[in-house]
Amino acid sequence: MAEYQVGPTRFEEYSEKYKDFFKMKRKDGIIEVRLHTNDGPYVHNWPAHTAWNHAWSDIGRDPENEVLIITGTGDKWVVGDPSVWNVKFMDWPKQKKLEQYHESLRLLENFIFSIDIPTIGAVNGPGTHCELCTLCDITLCTEDADFFDPHFLAGTTCGDGMALTLQQMMGLKRTAYYAYTGAHIHGKEAVELGIANECLPLENLVPRAWELAERIMLAPKSTRHFTHSVLSRPWKKALVEDQGFHLAHQMFDMAMDEEGSLERLKRMRARLMGEEK
């Protein structure tokens, strides 16, 4: 009987599959994944939220990928459009709430557990949800990037990974302060606090990411893979120990919120849209 083996999804397939959420290109083993909405800055939406965790699995299973670069489009990282919360979370159907819980877990878990190659995050401007790039082995950013957690300001518990990553990088006391105040953490301060490695002009950001990726590619393949495994282990431990706890508290809080967060988010719209300095 002939052997049958299910292989990984090919780059040509998954780059097409996720083209509405990511622009992907690959050269000499380095894959660049660029978030976008209609080829402009990525505007947060639920279809993309669902797609991300699947994309990490496909990217991670492809043996042709040797180093991963994640960045955004234009001069904004992630634009947080308040309108995604037009329907109060407490009014979501039970099945959708359950799906949201699992998708929110897997969005970070699959990034950390499914990708076994060196990762470089390049935050290309202000916005929200920088936790994805802070989970990378190396994080670059522009001076106007803003590594803030908006949850408490929006009247909900910080639970979907943003506070968790900040705790791991800059400690408990600093994270508590920034979680309660929502104070700006711009690029240079992010480097000083240990959240990012380099702060660069926008035009130099992605070229620098490629320069670092090419330097990493000079090492033997096994060295690259096992070094990433060592460096990402603390994230694996943090996600296993605390992510579910954080997320459950956030979602329980949201499920009790009779007012809903839409109006509160509208009041901080400029910040979420990356327009407040």
Percent of the chain's residues with pLDDT above 90:
87
What pLDDT score was predicted for residue 4? Answer: 56
- pLDDT number for residue 236: 97
Secondary structure (3-state) at 37: strand
- Summarised one tens digit per residue, pLDDT across range 146-198 is 999 999 999 999 999 999 999 999 999 999 999 999 999 999 999 999 999 99
User: In this predicted model, what pLDDT tens digit does every residue of 69-114 receive, in sequence order?
Assistant: 999 999 999 998 899 999 999 999 999 999 999 999 999 999 999 9
Query: In sequence order, what are the residues at sequence separation of 6 or more whose Cβ sits closer than 8 angstroms to the Cβ of residue 122?
Result: 69, 70, 71, 72, 133, 139, 140, 141, 205, 206, 208, 209
Q: Is the pLDDT of residue 263 over 80?
A: yes
Rounded Cα–Cα distance for residues 163 and 185 (Å): 13
Looking at the predicted structure, is the pLDDT value of residue 130 above 70? yes
Instruction: With beta carbons less than 8 A apart as the criterion, state whether 187 and 142 touch.
Output: yes
**What's the pLDDT at 2?**
53
| Mean pLDDT score of the chain | 94
Domains and CATH numbers, the chain: 11-206+220-272 (3.90.226.10)
The pLDDT assigned to 274 comes to 81
Which distant-in-sequence residues (6+ apart) come within 8 Å of 33 by Cβ? 22, 23, 24, 55, 59, 68, 69, 70, 71
At residue 277, the pLDDT reads: 63
Cβ–Cβ under 8 Å, residues 35 and 70: yes
DSSP states of 106-161: HHHHHHHHH--S-EEEEE-SS-S-THHHHTSSEEEEETT------TGGGTS---SS
Q: Which pLDDT does position 75 carry in this prediction?
A: 96
According to DSSP, the β-strands at 30-35 and 22-27 are antiparallel
Q: Decide the pairing of beta strands 67-71 and 22-27.
A: unpaired
Residue 28: per-residue pLDDT: 98
DSSP reduced 3-state for 250: helix
pLDDT at res. 276: 76
What is the pLDDT at residue 3? Answer: 60
Give me the pLDDT at residue 275, please.
Answer: 82
Torsion angle of C-alpha atoms 210, 70, 223, 115, degrees rounded to 10: -160
Confidence of residue 1 (pLDDT cuts 50, 70, 90): very low
- Give per-residue pLDDT as tens, 42-79: 999 999 999 999 999 999 999 999 999 999 999 999 99
pLDDT at 6: 77
Task: Confirm whether pTM is higher than 0.75.
Answer: yes
d(CA 236, CA 33): 22
Taking 80 as the threshold, does the pLDDT of residue 235 lie above it?
yes
